[in-house]
A = this chain, B = another copy of it.
């Protein structure tokens, strides 16, 4: 008998009727003769409601107490799910994070899983019960309730699957799978049958948003096949695995893009051994995520440094840098808002020289100015004017043959 781990996100268990629908999905796996562990998020908007309550009391609520508060959300869902399963005649039991043996760092709001003691889960599986586990939460060694931060339930599911040596981990969500690019923006987007961990990691990090990068990393480390599929529609999903078995001829498997990018340039920074470190430590210390960084010598002892950040952080970044102008010793700062980042991702790039050049040609044909570039083994990103973002994505989608990807078919079960 194979052990299967599933995870349903908040919208998939958003109300009683959706919980019942998810219970049907669990029953399918069960009827297929599998041992089933299901990880659940909190119901739809219930976390938001709890956060609002907390903010009615405190502008910056204590992190430990936020974990205490928010971890109730999943506890509600898991108990309701077991009730729904029992109504269908299925033997099931719910476990909170601490009951399921999810051990984490002693950190609140953003703890990492340090280990899983699967004894209790396994003993219930051996009693032929479906085990329903609260996602997003765990317990530190000193008995504190912790939460895992964004994407936490995905991580719980993958970690449990790894610890149980499960055959696979299925993430049920509100989309039918992983797409060549965001279908809400580019109508040419095609659903992929498979994608590699590394490609998925690049796409997750680039904001494709279907899977949390921590979950993908975990799955990669344990070589656990990860399946993304819809909890609403009965359709084939996308499998994330070591080597994308299908469609291997694709050099580029996906496109990612994000708007609201701002480029900041620090001009005439002294070229000293700690200049770069001083600049980026100051920004990191205030929690400002810097994306692409370009450094350019402009004189014997002077640099220009450009980097991109989210436009939301612009004011804060400028303030941090300006208040340190004397210390850092630069001449002036310029910035350019209204930009976007467009990226192509594909393992096939490694063995295909000239992919970046093809990307630049494609953008040039569309008369799109490239402001910054960054590359990795399997990714090329270009910062372009935000007004040209969609046009660029559509042109790249076509240029790299993604328009021709065959869609996964709907399954009639």
Contacts and interface: CB of A to CB of B under 8 A. Distances in A.
Contact of A54 (B56, B66, B83, B143): B83
Contact of A93 (B16, B56, B64, B80): B64
Identical chains bound together, number: 2
Given A19-B57, A69-B76, A75-B72, A83 B96 contact: no
Nearest to A77: B69
Interface in A4-58: 16, 19-20, 50, 53-54, 56-58
Nearest to A78: B68
Contact of A57 (B50, B57, B75, B80): B80
A279 B148 CA distance: 58
A87 to B, nearest CB: 5
Contacts of A62: 82-83, 86
A316 interface: no
Contacts of A64: 93
B54 A80 contact: yes
A65 B94 contact: yes
A102 interface: no
A56 B94 contact: no
Interface residues on A, range: 35 or more
Nearest to A86: B62
Contacts of A99: 143, 145
A79 interface: yes
A94 B82 contact: no
A256 interface: no
A120 interface: yes
B83 A57 contact: yes
A117 to B, nearest CB: 11
A209 interface: no
A53 B80 contact: yes
Contacts of A71: 75
A61 interface: yes
A69 B75 contact: yes
Contacts of A83: 54, 57-58, 61-62, 65
A211 interface: no
A265 to B, nearest CB: 42
14 contacts: A20-B57, A57-B84, A58-B87, A62-B86, A65-B80, A65-B83, A65-B86, A68-B75, A68-B94, A68-B96, A69-B79, A69-B80, A71-B75, A72-B76
Interface of A: 16, 19-20, 50, 53-54, 56-58, 61-62, 64-66, 68-69, 71-72, 75-76, 78-80, 82-84, 86-87, 93-94, 96, 99, 120, 143, 145
